Amino acid sequence: MEENPRGWIHGDETAKAMLSRILTERPFLFLPPLHRVPLRVGNVVEIAGPSPSAKSQILLHAAVNCILPEEWKGIRFGGLGRMVMYFDLDCRFDVLRLSQILKHRIMEAYRSTNNTYWKEKGEHQKNDAPTTHMYLCDDELFLDCMRRFLYIRCYNSFEFLAALKAMHSHSQRESEALGVSVHFLMIDSIGAFYWMDRACQPMPIGGSKRKNVSLQSLAEAVVQEICKLLQMQPVLVLATKATIFGAGTSGNDAQRLAHDVNLPILRSTSSTRAFGKWCSEGKMDSRTSSREGEKLMYREYMPSSWQSFVTHRVHLQALGL
Amino acid sequence: MIEDWHQPWLNGVELLEDSNHNKHFLPTGYEGIDVLLGGGLCEGQLTEMVGPSSSGKTQVCLYSAALVADKHFGVVMFVDTCNSFSPKRIACIVDQLSSSFSGEAKERRLKRVMSNIFCHSVFDIFALLDVLHQLEFKLKQQVKSGDTKICLLIIDSISSLLTPVLGGKGSEGRLLMVSAGIILKKLANEYNISVLVTNHMVGGEGGILKPALGESWKSIPHVRLQLTRDQGSNICNVSILKHTFMATGRTAKFVIHSRSCSVQDGRGR
């Protein structure tokens, strides 16, 4: 019980102190290509787009950024050096693609260090010693990074829920083993089981005390589990979502869409390798965002409990091959 | 206890090991496709071939079935929905492959190949789901015994089963499609099978052809290939619509030999 009510009224810290404390404890993250959107741990980002629009590629690049260390054997990688938790609901994850991106980043860092080294020395000949050194260090760093990538596959919503419940204890075990904590929680395709869950009849299981199984209750349970996780272990949640209903939907949906696409909309080319062509359109309304007359009308199909849980929504659109 | 309710946790290193040891490439027999895909059909992945009719999809299916069975990769299961499976064509292909063998050796080889290809005829989506569930059950039991296990599952064509149920605003069709997709990917991942399905094309906006089965299907296969064939020629074009680690838009050509095999002219292939 408070013995000093006056002290309680005066508060613990000023707003300025609190802000500086939070900004150091939970700094902003800028993940390319979403580098114009400052993200913090505790945010829930939904990346939505039609099928070939590089959503999973964004996740993979963010994952590589996270598992790479800040610095290793004198070479600066600029990564976070933390673990990533990847929930593969679509079951389309390809580890070869992840290792391809990781190797490419490592090579790039080595090459740029090599170039600066030779520039400083003023020599134009590159001998083989740094390159062999590079290949020897490669494997160890590569495996180190891959160990920080935690993965689980789910074939239905129940497996997903069970995995979410078990995630905390598993991540604790891994943290103790590797010495770093989980920073990202990635869900590849949150809408993967939409059609199956929608077909669940809302009938009571085993008496009226248990909750009915339905699309809404499953989504609520998922949101609840993730909230619990966020309280115990703050992570940044990135979820992709495939837009199922095509463009050009009916009029009442347009009003529903208008308020939630109020964020910077990024467009991408659909090539998996070239990441050069990124342009952000700034804040705009979904109805007026068509440049060549295309409409960004995609119907929101996730239940409202998920929709209100999301803090940032990013829309991707392929600009054509 | 909760560990029984979800799949096991893995990390990047374990995933890589699994990919290197268990997930091999199965050649289709057509060099153009194999080179384009970096070796062939990948075990653990669901590959879709899309193309208008008579663009070579069934030929690729039959050739890869024959080749995989011949080269001892494992057992092939061919799910036939439109009566496209042709034992005569398989015999012809095996004949071409074993052109240097004598008559009796050829017979034995043909018998072995035929006994490694299991063909099921299904004509609706429920029968397909039934076949897949039975296959999953059988494979679960088979893990203990050491029989030659299935490594290639071909469904020619899955779109003819799904298009009748997909029409209209009802969601049951999409539910069946997504369920079929999930069980196919589960079979592929857990039992190291390469799944090959074919799809046809429908008219889209502006009269351009587009793959059938709609938007929801697009995010189900790992790899999507588009086949086209110019009329009258036997050169087919294959291009990548979607791949897990290769850029889309890459193309290749391959030739379909439609030589009849009743005459053995000793000139080899």
- Strand bridging mode B194-199 / B46-50: parallel
- Please state the separation of Cα A73 from the chain's center in Å: 28
Q: Is B239 on the interface with A (CB under 8 A)?
A: no
User: Got the DSSP string for B103-117?
Assistant: HHHHHHHHHHHHHTE
Cβ contact B5–A170 (<8 Å)? no
B197 falls in which pLDDT band (50, 70, 90)? very high
Q: Residue A234: which of A30, A77, A25, A68 has the closest Cα? A: A25
| From A48-62, A134-148, B113-127, B166-180, the region with the lowest mean pLDDT | A134-148
Residues 129-188 of A with CB under 8 A from B: 143, 145-156, 158-160, 162-163, 165-166, 170, 174
A45: β partners: A238, A312
ipTM score above 0.90:
no
Cβ–Cβ of B19/A95 closer than 8 Å?
Answer: yes
Whole-number pLDDT of residue A207: 56
Residue B118 lies in a domain: yes
| Residue A209 pLDDT level (bands cut at 50, 70, 90) | low
Instruction: Please report whether residue B188 resides in a domain.
Output: yes
Give the residue on A whose Cα is nearest the Cα of B185: A91
Is B13–A143 a contact, with Cβ atoms under 8 angstroms apart?
A: yes
Average of pLDDT values for B57-61?
A: 90
| Within a domain: B217 | yes
Mean pLDDT of all residues in A282-308: 58
Q: Which of A90, A159, A242 sits opposite B7 (nearest CB)?
A: A159
B210 touches chain A (CB under 8 A): no
pLDDT in tens, A276-294: 333 333 333 333 333 333 4
Q: Find the domain containing B92 and state its range.
A: 25-255
Q: Is B174 on the interface with A (CB under 8 A)?
A: yes
B249 interfaces chain A, CB cutoff of 8 Å: yes
Interface touch A90/B248, C-beta < 8 Å: no
Q: What is the distance between the alpha carbons of residues A302 and A191, in angstroms, rounded to a whole number?
A: 7
B235 touches chain A (CB under 8 A): no
Which DSSP state fits A165?
H
Element (H, E) at B154: strand B150-156
Which of the two residues, A28 and A105, has the higher pLDDT score? A105
Which pairing describes strands B235-242 and B251-255: parallel, antiparallel, or unpaired? antiparallel
Q: What percent of chain B lies above the pLDDT cut of 90?
A: 37
Which amino acid makes up residue A96?
A: L
Q: Which residue has the higher pLDDT, B115 or A73?
A: B115
Packing angle, helices B125-142 and B172-191, rounded to 10: 20
| Mean pLDDT score across all residues of chain B | 86
* Number of domains making up chain B: 1
Computed over every residue of chain A, the mean pLDDT equals 75
Q: Which of A91, A149, A155 is opposite residue B11, by nearest beta carbon?
A: A149
**Cβ contact B215–A151 (<8 Å):** no
Q: Which of A189, A221, A252, A165 is nearest to A47 (CA)?
A: A189
To which residue do tokens 């289709």 refer? B28
pLDDT band at B132 (very low <50, low <70, confident <90, very high): very high
Interface mutation vs chain A, best among B215, B219, B240, most A CBs within 10 Å: B219
H or E segment to which residue A267 belongs: strand A266-267
The answer to whether residue A91 neighbours chain B at the CB level (below 8 Å) is yes
Instruction: Answer whether B185 touches A (CB < 8 Å).
Output: yes
Structure tokens at B94: 């095996």
- Listing DSSP states for A235-254 in one string gives -EEEEEEE--S-S---HHHH
Query: pLDDT tens digits for A163-199?
Result: 999 998 999 999 999 888 899 999 998 988 988 888 8
CB-based burial label for A122 (10 Å; 0-12, 13-18, 19+): exposed
> A40: pLDDT confidence band, cut at 50, 70 and 90?
confident
A-to-B residue pairs, Cβ atoms closer than 8 angstroms: 130
CATH number at residue B85: 3.40.50.300
3-state secondary structure of A210: coil
**B152 contacts B73 by C-beta, under 8 angstroms:** yes
Q: Is residue B85 part of a domain?
A: yes
Per-residue confidence band for A257, with pLDDT thresholds at 50, 70 and 90 = very low
CB count within 10 Å of CB A134 equals: 18
Strands B25-26 and B41-42: antiparallel
Q: Is the Cβ of B245 closer than 8 Å to some Cβ of chain A?
A: yes
B174 near A246, Cβ under 8 Å?
Answer: no
pLDDT digits (tens, 9 = 90+) for B212-269: 888 889 889 999 999 998 888 888 889 988 888 887 788 888 888 765 554 333 333 4
C-alpha–C-alpha distance, residues B224 and A86, integer Å: 24
Structure tokens at B149: 């296990």
Using 50, 70 and 90 to split pLDDT, how confident is the model at A201? Answer: low
Do the chains contact at A94 and B3, CB–CB below 8 Å?
A: no
**pLDDT at residue A210, as a whole number:** 59
Note whether A166 contacts B6, CB cutoff 8 Å: yes
**pLDDT of amino acid A114:** 78
Q: Taking the model in full, what pTM does it have?
A: 0.82
The answer to whether B180 and B162 have CB atoms below 8 angstroms apart is yes
Q: How far apart are CA A235 and CA B47, in angstroms?
A: 35
Q: For residue B13, is it within any domain?
A: no
**What pLDDT score does B171 carry?**
77
Whether residue B17 is contained in a domain is answered as no
In a domain? residue B19: no
User: Are B16 and A146 in contact (CB < 8 Å)?
Assistant: yes
Query: Quick count: other Cβ atoms within 10 Å of Cβ A259?
Result: 9
DSSP H or E stretch at residue A87: strand A83-88
**Domain-located, residue B227:** yes
Token match 């590589």: residue? A64
- Assess A277–B contact: CB distance below 8 Å, yes or no: no
Give the CB-side neighbour count of residue B18, counting CA atoms within 13 A: 15
pLDDT tens-digit readout, A80-124: 889 999 999 999 999 999 999 999 888 888 888 877 766 666 555
Structure confidence at residue A239 (pLDDT): 93
